[in-house]
Amino acid sequence: MIANLAPHVWSGKLIGAMAITFIVQGVTIGAYAARLAGVQTKRIATSISLFNLFVTAGRLANLFVIFFLGPLSDQAGNAVAKLQGNPAAAAAWQHTFEIQLRLIVLAGTLGMIVFAIFLPMFTYLFRRGVHSFESRGSVPHSLVRLFAPSVIRDVVRAQRLPSLAELRGFNWRVLPKRLLIFNTVVMCVYAIGVQSSYLASVLDVAVARTSIGLSGVVNGIGTIAFTLFVDPTSAIITDQAIHGKRSVEEVRSMVFYLSVTAIVGSLLSQAILYPAAVVIEVVARFAAHVHL
């Protein structure tokens, strides 16, 4: 029945996957503000704890995209499996699924851009969170306090768009070049880790389950790379600002350019989505045919 239907790009499940990815990738950008809040409050350990909380929550929320992406993959995979004798029709389903995945990745990019615009608001939110945690000693109680109407009003008022002069004041030259390069690469890989694996599962339905399972490997590599090359360097810059070796403006520049490079990496991920899917497909075939 599925094989006789023409593939359609838009569906409720696609919109759901795009909405979750929009939020998850946006939260990744918003979490950068914790570094600046740590310098401003002189409570770096507490700020980093809140940073880890936001990042972990975002990556956990990313799991819920499977409830929407999984059925899209199943529909396309089942159609391709039934159309083995009709390569043109099978290719149409594969192409449609690829477009859907690209729209999901694009939604994540848009989420990064929107949340980057609201970085002043997130910085204020983290500052309030640090002070609230110090006075209450409980993360759950502090989070509940942040949803109070008066706090929400203050957070919204803290939002402002930077002037052209402020944008020009962000100096990338004071930052290690490797930090910006690695952040671009890491976000490029992380943005399509799940999507490339699902695309590989439709390119070769015979190894679909193996391909999908490899998404954890791809994201794991991205997480390790972030932990090794991006997070420690940004932490050093933050510590140097705390001890007066760097200015607060340099930390602002770091947060700004980490956001910019993350957005650039997400945009570049569109170019490697299909090649990454082919690589995963080849690895899945190899794993399926190895006899141990």
- Measured CA to CA, the distance from residue 190 to residue 192 in angstroms comes to 6
Beta strands in the chain (DSSP E): none
Q: Does residue 129 have a pLDDT over 90? A: no
pLDDT of 132 reads 83
pLDDT of 117 reads 94
Report residue 160: phi and psi, to 5°: -155, 150
- Where along the chain do its domains lie? 2-289
Task: Compute CA distances 268 → 26, 172, 261, whole Å.
Answer: 17, 20, 10
CB atoms closer than 10 angstroms to residue 243: 7
Q: What is the pLDDT of residues 65-92, one digit of tens each?
A: 989 999 999 999 999 999 988 999 999 9
Q: Does residue 11 have a pLDDT over 90? A: yes
Q: Among 195, 181, 178, which Cα is nearest to 276's?
A: 195
